[in-house]
Each structure stands twice: as C-alpha cells, then as structure tokens.
Structure 1
C-alpha cells in the first residue's frame, strides 16, 4: 500500500520494507523528498481478501 509522508505530505510513497506478523503487516517507509522514516501496522482482518493475498507474497526471508 502507498502512504503519505507525515512530515512533508509527499504522496504515493511505497514501502521500503514489509513484514508479516500473524494477521498484521508492518510496512516501513522512507520519504524520498525529506528522508523522514515511519512504520505503519495494518490488521489484515480489516481489509478485503485482495489485500490479504498481497500480504502473503513470499518475502526474501520466507523464500530462503
């Protein structure tokens, strides 16, 4: 999911890293404009089936 920088309000920033923890997905972001970093935790049970499938994609850690 894309997000907006809470510091400079730049839009459509893609996560630099994503990790799944059970029913939660933690996305880490870094703004390309101001370099501000932040993390967002999302509960997959609150999203549609489409978002749940996206979060189940294999990561580098699970692919090894």
Structure 2
C-alpha cells in the first residue's frame, strides 16, 4: 500500500519495510523528495482482501 508524505504531500510513496501480525499491518516510509520518515499502523479488518 502506498501513502502520501505528511511533510511535503508527495503521493504514492512506497513502503521501505512492512510487518503484519494478526490484527495490524505496519509500514515504514521515507519520502524520496524531502526525506521525511514515518510509520503507519493499519487495522487489517479495515481493508478487505480481494476474493
């Protein structure tokens, strides 16, 4: 899943690392434009998988 940089608003930033457990997906990002780094934690139940 891509994200938008919260610092410079660049869309489509790819995660550098991802980790999944029973309830969450965690992704680490670094913006290629401004270098800002951030982490997201998303509940797996909020994102349905394609059937």
How far off its partner does 1:15 sit? 0.4
How far off its partner does 1:21 sit? 2.2
TM-score norm. by structure 1 comes to 0.73
Give unpaired runs (5+ residues) of structure 2. Answer: none
Aligned twin of 1:25 = 25
Aligned-residue CA RMSD in angstroms?
Answer: 0.8
TM-score norm. by structure 2 comes to 0.90
- Higher CA-based Rg: 1
Q: Larger strand proportion, structure 1 or 2?
A: 2
